[in-house]
Amino acid sequence: MTNSNTQLSEIEKEKELSEVKDDLFRKVGRNLINYQIIEQLLKQLILSSRISGPMSQLEEAQKQKSEEVKVQTMGVLAGQFIENTYQKPKKSFNENVGIKETHFSSSIYFDVSDDTLESRKADLKRLTEERNNLAHHLLPRLDLNSIESCLAMSRELDEQREVQVKEFENLTFLTNQIGNTLKEYADFMNSEDGLKLLELRRLQQSSVIGMLLDLSETQSRPDGWTVLDNSTRYIKNNLADDLVKIKQYEGCKTMKSLVITSELFDILEESTKKGGTRVLYRAKPDLSHIYH
Q: What is the pLDDT of residues 1-26, one digit of tens each?
A: 555 556 657 888 899 999 999 999 99
- What pLDDT was estimated at residue 56? 78
pLDDT along the chain (292 residues), means of 10: 62 91 97 97 93 82 91 93 87 49 78 93 96 94 95 97 97 93 88 89 89 92 94 94 92 94 94 91 73 47
- β-strands 265-271, 277-283 pairing: antiparallel
Domains of the chain (ranges; CATH) run: 2-95+106-190 (no CATH), 198-291 (3.30.420)
- What pLDDT was estimated at residue 32? 97
- What pLDDT was estimated at residue 292? 45
- What pLDDT was estimated at residue 107? 86
- What pLDDT was estimated at residue 93? 40
pTM of the model: 0.72
- What pLDDT was estimated at residue 5? 56
- What pLDDT was estimated at residue 96? 46
